[in-house]
Amino acid sequence: MMKHAVLFAAGALSLLASTAFADDRYQSRPPVIVSPDLTAPWVMQLGGGNVQPVVYPRPMARRAADPRMEQPANPQVRQVVQPRGLFARPVVQQVAMARPRYPAIRGQIDPQFLPQIVDYQTKERPGSIVIDTNNRFLYLVMDGGKARRYGVGVGKPGFEWAGAHTVTRKQEWPDWTPPAEMISREAAKGHYLPAHMEGGEANPLGARAMYLGSTLYRIHGTNAPWTIGSAVSSGCIRLRNEDVIDLYNRVKVGTRVIVM
């Protein structure tokens, strides 16, 4: 009887030990952990807490971390945001900006030299041109004591002149043939002028020319609009290209021109 009691106790202890060992085995098993990045696969940690879940870096996160990626590489490109629906995230597109057709001018023109209608009392008939070289204004006489006034560039010191002539010829985008004395004079300064230059945007005579009498003087445009209001020419009267085109369209051959 005693022998059976001992065997029963030993079996019970063996069963309890086996259960405890089984419980310990399952308690030490690491849990299954899902990566914080939902684009990554599930990760089962079999090595305990030392194994960290794999996290795949997001491409957008790398771009945001690099400040150079925030600005377009080309300074002539700007970003335009286009919405794609009420709840959709906007799409950012790079749109090329048009380059200016002309280079920036060297300075701003004083507003007084921009075209405007002014009061002007004169004995000259409407349609006549009066050029005030001292104040750098050209007046196209109108009816009713008015005139259309334009800012001009005039002859530099030593090249001033005064007189009355008529417009004998008009030319769009005129060619330029510098006088021999001008070529020699500029060459002495180290400036070498061409013997002839075709009309165009780079031509010093600009977009239009109105020739005065039989002289070498002209009312013409310019490729240097920032010089309007200054005494810089060799005696010709220059206007901005947009202004000389406007004047050209209002003036006929035979128009009287008074320079004073």
Instruction: List Cα–Cα distances, 161 to 65, 74, 82, 117, in angstroms.
Output: 69, 52, 61, 26
Q: Does 133 score more than 50 pLDDT?
A: yes
Q: Who contacts 138 (Cβ-Cβ below 8 Å, separation ≥6)?
A: 129, 130, 131, 132, 149, 150, 151, 152, 219, 237, 239, 247
Q: What is the pTM of this model?
A: 0.59
**What are the backbone angles phi and psi of residue 31, rounded to the nearest 5°?**
-75, 165
Beta strands in the chain (DSSP E): 32-33, 43-44, 77-82, 91-96, 116-119, 129-132, 137-141, 146-151, 154-155, 163-172, 208-212, 218-220, 231-233, 237-238, 256-259
Q: Which pLDDT value is given to residue 163? A: 97
Q: Does 172 score more than 50 pLDDT?
A: yes
Active site amino acids: 220, 236
Q: Does 84 score more than 50 pLDDT?
A: no
Q: Which pLDDT value is given to residue 53? A: 43
Q: Does 218 score more than 80 pLDDT?
A: yes
Domains in the chain with CATH codes: 111-259 (2.40.440.10)
Beta strands in 52-106 (DSSP E): 77-82, 91-96
Q: Does 219 score more than 80 pLDDT?
A: yes
Q: Does 5 score more than 80 pLDDT?
A: no
Whether the CB-CB separation of 256 and 129 falls below 8 Å is answered with yes
Greater confidence (203 vs 83) lies with: 203
Cα 246 to Cα 153: distance, rounded to the nearest angstrom: 16
Q: Which residue, 200, 189, 255, is CA-closest to 222? A: 200
Whether the CB-CB separation of 138 and 149 falls below 8 Å is answered with yes
